């Protein structure tokens, strides 16, 4: 059933909002549960489509997974890799990192090539290279990836690029069994540190996450228990940019400010007043912002690509011209065509968007075509003059748990309706 968001823009935002656990932390943690034969409870989980898809994968391979009142209970005692079917893993990108856990526990995996998505091809060559460094035989044939981990051992992996998913996959592949795995040029994202903490809580031996060198010492097995993942720094930053453009004052908690420094710095340069709290951020904005000369997306701790559309939407109605450079994905400016329908003045050439700020955006009928671009359109519509209709809400639901409720809590006039 298609749904759309109806937004009446122009209101200032006021209020307090607490974000749940980070989508990009919970997804690898769910995959990690495959390595344990005991019950595991993951708290503060958002009810979002990508998590439901991972739950489907756990159930389809013979595990149990139940999300109730924000706690996800997973038990993979009866998981069986023979049940991993092609259509199952082609459904979401995140499925690629079930490879590592399945190989760690069962030494065999056979999954379909995860498709690309709206923002890019999403190759997995670094994942495959890393698994091969651990002695795993990988055959790619007919859209399938067949991995034979009978000779799985420790190894040294030198990543060409600090890929988040590849780092997570290799960390998990090295978690069970003998040998030591060293990952160099590893991704440093906070979600990688969260995965290390989770693996160690369950009985694993990983250290170095957050630096460029991660060492994983294989152990015999993992136990169970309960864990509360990291708060969602991207969701929190999304709400901050919306307050920035709409104007107002808000307190966004549940994600530590030090994990958002790159975004907070740009919000300050644009003219927002930012106060760091111990588990969140207070923002005050006049709604009249100025341009930020240049924003370049980088691996953590640089400016996060997952916050590129949101800050572009905010600067589309700022005073002056901003240059946005998207270094991570090849197709992450699609949403700008929708912002232009709202009156934005943006020119995109390859990986660069030149954003010439206009006085105010105006409401329009726009279409969300990917997760973070869709969230950016919601923030833009809230700060715009007049009414907007946003279709393609399913893209936004992949990563935000009822985004309309969050913004309504901050005073926005927004509702979800079924598209007739
Ligand atoms: C994770 O994706 C996140 N997803 C993405 O968030 C995020 O944008 C990305 O990291 C970067 O921070 C999850 O954690 C589920 P990468 P991932 O491997 O692991 C290239 C969102 O909106 N690459 O660090 O796929 C790749 O093409 C999503 O929440 C290879 O070339 O990101 C891209 O250009 C979007 N070969 C770059 O690296 C590989 O084998 C970054 O990819 C793997 C990646």
> Who wins on pLDDT, 86 or 406?
406
- Pick the atom of ligand 1 nearest to 121's CA: 27
Q: What is the CA radius of gyration of the chain?
A: 21
C-alpha 163 – ligand 1 centre gap (Å): 6
Which residues' Cβ are closer than 6 Å to ligand 1? 23-24, 27, 94, 120, 122-127, 161, 163-166, 187, 305-306, 328-329, 371-372, 399
What pLDDT, on the 0 to 100 scale, is given for residue 97?
86
Alpha carbon of 329 to ligand 1 centroid (Å) = 8
CB 353 within 8 A of CB 347: yes
Pocket test for ligand 1, best of 164, 255, 331, 372 (most atoms within 8 A of CB): 164
CB of 288 closer than 8 Å to CB of 271:
yes
Name the token pair of 53: 């898809």
Task: Give residue 113 CA to ligand 1 midpoint distance, Å.
Answer: 15
**pLDDT score for 204:** 98
Ligand 1 center from residue 365 Cα (angstroms):
30
Distance CA 21, CA 324 (A): 28
Please provide the size of the chain in residues. Answer: 420
Q: Is 385 helix (H, G, I), strand (E, B) or coil?
A: strand
d(CA 238, CA 389): 19
pLDDT tens readout for residues 306-336: 999 999 999 999 999 999 999 999 999 999 9
| pLDDT tens-digit series, residues 235-258 | 999 999 999 999 999 999 999 999
Count of H-run helices and E-run strands, the chain:
14, 23
Return the pLDDT at 92.
58
Q: Cα(165) to centroid of ligand 1, in Å?
A: 6
Annotated active-site residue in 33, 45, 117, 272: 117
- Long-range contact list for 23-26, CB < 8 A, 24+ apart? 23/48, 23/50, 23/51, 23/232, 23/234, 23/235, 23/398, 23/399, 24/164, 24/189, 24/191, 24/232, 24/234, 24/306, 25/190, 25/191, 25/194, 25/195, 25/229, 25/230, 25/232, 26/51, 26/72, 26/229
How far, CA to CA in Å, does 412 sit from each of 6, 12, 19, 134, 408? 11, 8, 17, 51, 5
Ligand 1 center from residue 37 Cα (angstroms): 29
Flag whether pLDDT at 163 surpasses 90. Answer: yes
Q: How many CA atoms lie within 13 A of 128 on its CB side?
A: 15
Bridge-based pairing state of the strands 248-253 and 225-227: unpaired
**Number of neighbours of residue 154 by Cβ within 10 angstroms:** 18
Atom of ligand 1 nearest to the CA of 187: 24
pTM for the model stands at 0.97
CA nearest ligand 1 atom 18, residue:
163
Query: Is 117 marked active-site?
Result: yes
Task: Report the nearest-CA residue for atom 24 of ligand 1.
Answer: 163
Q: What is the pLDDT of residues 5-21, one digit of tens each?
A: 999 999 999 999 999 99
Percent of the chain residues topping a pLDDT of 70: 97
Q: Tell whether the torsion through CA atoms of 257, 163, 19 and 200 is positive or negative.
A: negative
pLDDT tens digits, 144-157: 889 999 999 999 99
CA 189 to CA 386: how far, in whole Å? 38
- Which of 25, 53, 165 should be mutated for ligand 1, with most atoms under 8 A from CB? 165
Query: Which residues 6+ apart lie within 8 Å of 361 measured at CB?
Result: 9, 316, 317, 339, 342, 343, 344, 380, 381, 383, 384, 385
- Nearest-atom number in ligand 1 for the CA of 372 is 22
Per-residue model confidence (pLDDT) at position 116: 65
Helix orientation angle between 308-315 and 371-383, rounded to the nearest 10 degrees:
20
Query: What's the pLDDT tens digit per position in 20-79?
Result: 999 999 999 999 999 999 999 999 999 999 999 899 999 999 999 999 999 999 999 999
User: Whose C-alpha lies nearest to ligand 1, atom 22?
Assistant: 306
- Point out the ligand 1 atom lying closest to the alpha carbon of residue 161: 38
CB 160 within 8 A of CB 118: no
Q: Is the pLDDT of residue 274 over 70?
A: yes
Tell me the sheet residues that pair with 108: 148
pLDDT at 285 over 80: yes
187-221, pLDDT tens digit by residue?
999 999 999 999 999 999 999 999 999 999 999 99
Q: Which two tokens stand for residue 90?
A: 């082609």
Nearest-CA residue for atom 30 of ligand 1: 123
CA distance 168 to 299: 15
Taking CA atoms only, the protein residue closest to ligand 1 atom 38 is 163
Task: Specify the ligand 1 atom closest to the Cα of 125.
Answer: 40
CA–centroid distance, residue 148 to ligand 1 (Å): 25
Query: Which residue has its alpha carbon closest to ligand 1 atom 3?
Result: 24
pLDDT in tens, 121-134: 889 999 999 999 99
User: CA–CA separation, 191 vs 197, rounded Å?
Assistant: 10
Q: How far is the CA of 115 from the centre of ligand 1 (A)?
A: 13
Of 213, 146, 204, 138, the closest CA to residue 174 belongs to 204
Q: Which of 95, 122, 140, 397 to mutate to test the pocket of ligand 1 (most atoms within 8 A of CB)?
A: 122
Q: pLDDT value at position 110? A: 85
- For the segment 253-267, the average pLDDT, to the nearest whole number, is 98
């Amino acid at each position: 059933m298609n749904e759309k968001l109806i937004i009446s823009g122009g209101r200032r935002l006021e209020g307090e909002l607490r974000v749940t656990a980070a989508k990009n932390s919970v997804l690898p943690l769910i995959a990690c549960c495959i390595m344990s034969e005991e019950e595991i409870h993951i708290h503060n989980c958002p009810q979002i489509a990508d998590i439901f898809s991972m739950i489907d994968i756990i159930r389809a391979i013979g595990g149990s997974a139940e999300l109730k009142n924000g706690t996800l209970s997973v038990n993979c005692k009866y998981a069986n890799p023979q049940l991993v079917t092609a259509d199952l893993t082609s459904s979401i990108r995140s499925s690629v990192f079930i490879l590592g856990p399945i190989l760690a526990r069962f030494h065999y995996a056979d999954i379909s090539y995860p498709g690309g998505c709206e923002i890019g091809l999403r190759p997995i060559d670094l994942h495959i290279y890393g698994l091969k460094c651990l002695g795993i035989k990988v055959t790619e044939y007919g859209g399938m990836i067949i991995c034979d981990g009978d000779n799985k051992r420790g190894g040294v992996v030198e990543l060409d690029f600090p890929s988040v998913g590849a780092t997570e996959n290799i960390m998990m592949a090295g978690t069970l069994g003998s040998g030591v795995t060293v990952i160099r040029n590893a991704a440093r994202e906070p979600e990688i540190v969260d995965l290390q903490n989770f693996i160690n809580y369950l009985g694993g031996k990983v250290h170095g996450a957050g630096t460029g060198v991660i060492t994983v010492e294989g152990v015999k097995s993992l136990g169970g228990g309960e864990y509360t993942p990291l708060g969602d720094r991207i969701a929190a930053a999304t709400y901050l940019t919306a307050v920035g453009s709409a104007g107002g004052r808000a307190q966004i908690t549940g994600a530590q400010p030090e994990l958002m420094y790159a975004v907070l710095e740009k919000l300050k340069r644009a003219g927002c007043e930012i106060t760091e709290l111990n588990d969140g951020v207070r923002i005050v904005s006049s709604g009249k912002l100025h341009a930020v000369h240049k924003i370049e997306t980088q691996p953590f701790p640089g400016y996060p690509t997952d916050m590129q559309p949101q800050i572009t939407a905010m600067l589309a109605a700022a005073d002056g011209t901003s240059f946005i450079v998207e270094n991570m994905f090849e197709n992450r400016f699609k949403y700008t065509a929708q912002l232009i329908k709202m009156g934005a003045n943006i020119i995109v050439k390859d990986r660069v968007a030149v954003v010439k700020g206009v006085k105010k955006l105006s409401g329009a009928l726009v279409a969300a075509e990917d997760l973070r671009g869709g969230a950016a359109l919601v923030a833009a519509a809230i700060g715009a003059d007049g009414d907007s209709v946003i279709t393609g809400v399913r893209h936004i639901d992949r990563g935000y748990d009822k985004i309309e409720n969050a913004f309504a809590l901050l005073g926005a006039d927004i509702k979800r309706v079924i598209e007739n």
